Amino acid sequence: MSVRGVARVDLRTAVRSRMVWWLTGVLTVLSVLGTSLVALLGVEGATAVDAVGTLSLPAVLLVPLASIVVGYVAVVGERRSGSLKLLLGFPVSRAAVVAGKLAARTATVALAVLVAFAASGVVAGLLYGGVPAGRYAAFALATVGLGVAFAGLAVGVSAGVATRGRALAFAVGSYLLLVLFWQPVVAGVHYAATGTLPGAVVPAWYLLLERLSPVGAYQTLMRAALDTGATASVFAVRPPAASAAPLSTQLGGDPVPWYLSDAAAALVLCAWAALPVVVGYLRFRGRDL
């Protein structure tokens, strides 16, 4: 009841936030541009799937950023401004505040992603004569999952810290680590464990580590959705062909363990959406405003 109340207030203010409209607009424009790129460059033999696949790079870079921007002040901003005192003057629990904020901010991000994907879907349909709707929908859903994972992370950070500055530092730090530097970090772990950099064949735990980041999990789901090996990554360590190969090949013929399944990747996204919020709430619960 009060969770819904908090979410309703938060969504109403989000709808009137110029920032949210800008974010949705930028996301949409860049997605449409990304989708059109293949046609604009006149790539020979490009399929509709290839075309929409080019969406994954802006998605990987921008959707987490949008989520962080939308989420990192969710709780701490109200705590610093004092509107939290107004809200918590009502019979509303702190858990309801965090849950309501999470619901509203994930909905905001999800909506922005869906608008962007709908627009690029239409453009892709016009340019490439039809996009496989089921695959495209699954791709969009995975991207929503990416946004929700980072929104959860950001709202959790927002609940768990006492100042905007700390929230921003945590959020930016998570972005750098999880979006930009995760693969080099995981490669570093590989190097520490085996003395070599990861090549074409890697141990299962290495792939698991890669997929424990929301971006890694998202790329897994995206590949499954579009049935393609291609992934967009930043600072990739392994040769692109190696990470595009089927899993059993990457594992050197070993059986593929359950934790490298697509369902496991979806679970990772869910965990990112939920766990930071739980930790943030536990820190927020007993604190002085």
Give the interface with another protein as residue ranges (CB under 8 A). Answer: 2, 5, 8-9, 12-13, 16-17, 78, 81-83, 85-86, 88-93, 286, 288-289
CB nearer to another protein: give 86 or 193.
Answer: 86
CB nearer to another protein: give 3 or 221.
Answer: 3
CB nearer to another protein: give 3 or 153.
Answer: 3
CB nearer to another protein: give 8 or 235.
Answer: 8
Residue 162 neighbours by CB distance under 10 Å: 15
End-to-end CA, the chain: 23
Helices (H), the chain: 2-15, 18-40, 48-53, 56-71, 76-81, 83-87, 94-128, 133-160, 164-175, 182-194, 204-212, 214-226, 240-244, 247-250, 262-285
Query: How far, in Å, CA of 43 to CA of 45, rounded?
Result: 6
Query: How far, in Å, CA of 212 to CA of 65, rounded?
Result: 18
CB nearer to another protein: give 16 or 45.
Answer: 16
CB nearer to another protein: give 15 or 43.
Answer: 15
Query: How far, in Å, CA of 275 to CA of 50, rounded?
Result: 34
Query: How far, in Å, CA of 36 to CA of 40, rounded?
Result: 6
Q: How far is the CB of 139 from another protein (least distance, A)?
A: 34
Q: How far is the CB of 84 from another protein (least distance, A)?
A: 8
Q: Are 269 and 149 in contact (CB under 8 A)?
A: yes
Q: How far is the CB of 15 from another protein (least distance, A)?
A: 9
Q: How far is the CB of 171 from another protein (least distance, A)?
A: 22
Q: How far is the CB of 63 from another protein (least distance, A)?
A: 25
Q: How far is the CB of 24 from another protein (least distance, A)?
A: 17
